[in-house]
Amino acid sequence: MHDQVIDPAGHDAPGPACGRPDELRVPLPSPAEITTLGAARAAIDGLDAALAVLLERRAAVAAVVQRLKPVGGFAGRDPGREREIVAAMAERAPSLGPERLARIMAAVIEAGLDAAESP
Ligand SMILES: O=C(O)C(=O)C[C@]1(C(=O)O)C=C[C@@H](O)C=C1
């Protein structure tokens, strides 16, 4: 596994390196090199920290989209665009595949729309 990157902001928890506010660098653990439960959980904690940062930023950008669209929010949901998003992600994450990614992204998109309505 890669060495844990230390967050220069000084947080103790394992997390992504946020060198600049507009940049995220994350060590990608190699599953084959993880041999203990503690190491596996530490790797998951690091990945989840990066996911949290990405999810929050994605929701903020999705909120901008809602303001720019003629009809925003849940009323302006666009299934074709959501299929495009899932198809593009399935190319990068083939082991998850489009069906699982569709479930994941439906939850992500709905949470973003919900947060945009009640920030
Ligand atoms: O691209 C849009 O039209 C959006 O509203 C953004 C977004 C998303 O979160 O990616 C949200 C809702 C739509 O159904 C599709 C995509």
Query: How far does residue 2's CA lie from ligand 1's centre (Å)?
Result: 34
Residue 105 Cβ inside 6 Å of ligand 1? The answer reads no
ipTM: 0.99
Q: Which residue puts its alpha carbon closest to atom 11 of ligand 1?
A: 109
Number of domains in the chain: 2
Q: Verify that 57 and 78 share a domain, yes or no.
A: no
Query: How far does residue 7's CA lie from ligand 1's centre (Å)?
Result: 31
Nearest 5°: the CA angle 112, 65, 115 is: 25
Q: Verify that 4 and 55 share a domain, yes or no.
A: yes
Q: Verify that 32 and 64 share a domain, yes or no.
A: yes
Give the position, in ligand 1's atom list, of the atom nearest the Cα of 85.
Answer: 10
pLDDT tens for 56-73 read 999 999 999 999 999 999
pLDDT the model gives residue 22: 86
* Domain range for 108: 72-119
Q: What is the H or E stretch that residue 49 is in?
A: helix 37-68
Q: Verify that 32 and 85 share a domain, yes or no.
A: no
pLDDT the model gives residue 119: 75
Enter the tokens of residue 24.
């995220």
Report the Cα–Cα distance between both ends of the chain, in Å, rounded.
37
Q: Verify that 99 and 61 share a domain, yes or no.
A: no
